Amino acid sequence: MKKIIDRIKSGDFERDDLIAVLSNKNADDDSYLFSLADSVRREKYGRDVYIRGLIEISNYCKNNCLYCGIRRDNRGAERYRLSEEEILSCADEGYLLGFRTFVLQGGEDNHFTDDVICSLIEKIKGKYPDVAITLSLGERGRESFERLKKAGADRYLLRHETADETHYGKLHPVEMKYETRMKSLYDLKELGFQVGAGCMVGSPFQTVENLADDLMFFKKFQPQMVGIGPFIPSSNTPFENESQGTLRDTLCMVALTRLILPSALIPSTTALGTISPDGREMGLKAGANVVMPNLSPKKFRKLYSIYDNKIGTGSESAEGLKILKEQVERAGYEIVVARGDFKE
């Protein structure tokens, strides 16, 4: 197995090699994989961990993804939307705390037209020219992406969710098309965004072959950022009684992604921290190099409930930055104040 892992690192591998590693049940091999991923990350980024201030701007969503707690049909979700003033004051608070990237994330909320988002980008950048703006607002169409880029957005996160079209169809309603998701990703790349793809691990109907295909997609698409977290069931969704993704499988996906994309910016996700108390430290030790503390106003945080029991007020929150710094240092890394751009 170690030979196969070495081969993946060298770039000379096939889909079957990924399947072999993902289905392997030997803990020693997993440790080998994680430490190899860590050494690749250290070669590129040293001990640096980049922080991104996550601002969850709205949980209104016109989409109906079967896994997501803020899907349109979840009548149990109490909806909120931040005002422009609220978003700008999150940015003020974040800048003081040392954040040099803000991620505006939300459901697909028609209130946030191009005009509204462009004005937000211009205001944040006008006040803080040294920050990077990352958007994570779903599918908007090429013209919209182009306007957002021109207004000064630097990065866009849009997880592909699964690289297998049939599997995609089982996670989404018919009106959501795999093709549209993929086209959006290629459009974003062409328009000059640093692009983030990604997937959930352990989502319903997912096979080990699907996960291997996600990794093959990373190799082909070469995203600058990759978000990988375990699927966690969310109440009041069609998947509420499904089981969650495992820590081991998620860490393996993070580590394999690091071997395949040595320069990628890979967050150790909130979902990883939700399924295990030291999940995020383990993610860092398996090749991740980014954390995304929550900067959203506290009173709305629990409403951005894409899955159950989402953590948000401890070290994963922006106020908890001091605790996070200590945790990261204990794991052997260091939080830096920087935009944390992709290094070729």
Q: Mark residues 265-304: x for contact with ligand SAH by CB under 6 A, - for none.
A: ------x---------------------------------
Q: In what order do the strands lie in the sheet with 290-291?
A: 290-291, 48-51, 334-336
Instruction: Confirm or reject binding of residue 234 to ligand SAH (CB under 6 A).
Output: yes
Residue 117 CA to residue 143 CA, distance in Å, equals: 14
Residue holding tokens 């029991």? Answer: 309
Contacting residue, 17, 154, 161, 187, with ligand SAH by CB under 6 A? 161
CA distances from 135 to 63, 96, 138, 140, 328 (A): 17, 21, 9, 11, 25
**Contacting residue, 48, 86, 93, 108, with ligand SAH by CB under 6 A:** 108
CB neighbours of residue 219 within 10 Å: 14
Should residue 316 be labelled a site residue for ligand SAH when binding is judged by CB under 6 A?
no
Q: Which of 159, 167, 285, 301 binds ligand SAH (CB under 6 A)?
A: 159
Answer for the pair 287, 37: CB distance below 8 angstroms, yes or no: yes
At closest approach, how far in Å is the CB of 152 from ligand SAH? 20
Window contacting ligand SAH (CB under 6 A); options: 1-9, 110-118, 121-129, 225-233: 225-233
Q: Are 8 and 260 in contact (CB under 8 A)?
A: yes
Residue 307 binds ligand SAH, judged by CB under 6 A: yes
Residue 235 CB partners (closer than 8 Å, separation 6+): 69, 76, 308
Q: Let me know: does 290 contact 50? Beta carbons within 8 Å.
A: yes
Question: Looking at 200, 256, 264, 328, which residue binds ligand SAH (CB under 6 A)?
Answer: 200
Which residues are at the interface with ligand SAH (CB under 6 A)? 67-68, 105, 107-108, 136, 138, 158-159, 161, 200, 229, 231-232, 234, 271, 306-307
